[in-house]
Amino acid sequence: MPKLSALTPKTSGALASLTIIEGSKSSMAEKVLLILEVIANSEFPLTLENISTRIGLAKPTAFRLLNTLVAQGFVERDANGRRFQPSAKFRLMGIGLLSTDSIRSQRVAVMKRLVDTVGETCNFNILDGNEVLYLDRIETSAPIRLHIDSGMHVPLHCTASGKLFLSFMSEDQIKRIVGSEPLQSHTAKTMTRYSDLMAEIKKISMQGYALDNCEYLEGSICVAVPVRDAKNKVFAALAAHGPTPRFTLKLAEQSVPTLRAAALELEKSLSQ
């Protein structure tokens, strides 16, 4: 299964190169940066032992630096207090980088071409905590459209991008991040039971894209595909959505190859 950055409970092979030797001449700043890199690239919250082992730091040193990062708000402990994960402040820094003019201008250009081809509004979405964040949005010129502003947060369990992100998580992690049953209902088609949601997520994992069939907003169809970074980790979703009956499930599925081509273009622009 492809990987989603900071989500799936598997160890990234790329972390093997992030090793320093305790007692080497590495500066304290280098040690802190390596800790932040390991936490940012991890697909699940990490224990002190995980972090010290992957970097090659003695536990007391790693513990002291982690406490400093927690105190400064860059890292936070999970609900159990035993694992470390990126804080909201740290995530916002990443969002800020994605929003810089040079990166965003390339992304917007790709999305405008996508909107012209698909004929519906397109969004560039990222995972932000336990919600989906609409980072960029290009509106269709069609007279009838759905109004969702950039910067808006939407749920994971009933949106195309949200379910796509969930498809890269373990079942335990999904239940931890989404919450207990019944899941919040937004329309008559919202899946409120894990038995239904997990079956849908299994299907998404197999087909590589996700659909929202009026599950979040009445009369709204959406389709989303993953966007991967240089390490092949999914860090965003590229989505198109429109009102029914103009944008049907059939049309949404037919747009998947176009969305995938645009996602690949985004991936190449980020690697340049």
Structure tokens, 53: 């082992």
Output the average pLDDT for the chain. 85
Q: Calculate what percentage of the chain has a pLDDT beyond 70.
A: 83
Q: How far is 130 from 170, CA to CA, in rounded Å?
A: 14
Place of tokens 């390490």: 231
- Judged by average pLDDT, the poorest of 84-98, 168-182, 210-224 is 84-98
Q: How far is 128 from 156, CA to CA, in rounded Å?
A: 10
Q: How far is 80 from 134, CA to CA, in rounded Å?
A: 29
Q: How far is 250 from 61, CA to CA, in rounded Å?
A: 56
Find out whether the peptide bond into 86 is cis, omega within 30 degrees of 0: no
CB 91 within 8 A of CB 114: no
Dihedral sign, Cα of residue 120, residue 126, residue 131, residue 133: negative
Note the pLDDT of residue 231: 78
pLDDT band of 10, cuts 50, 70, 90: very low
Q: How far is 240 from 161, CA to CA, in rounded Å?
A: 10
CB atoms inside a 10 Å sphere around CB 115: 20
Structure tokens, 55: 């970097």
pTM of the predicted structure, to 2 decimals: 0.72
Q: Is the model's pLDDT at 3 over the cut of 60?
A: no
Q: Which has more confidence, 49 or 25?
A: 49
86 backbone φψ class: left, alpha, beta (φ>0; ψ -120 to 50): beta
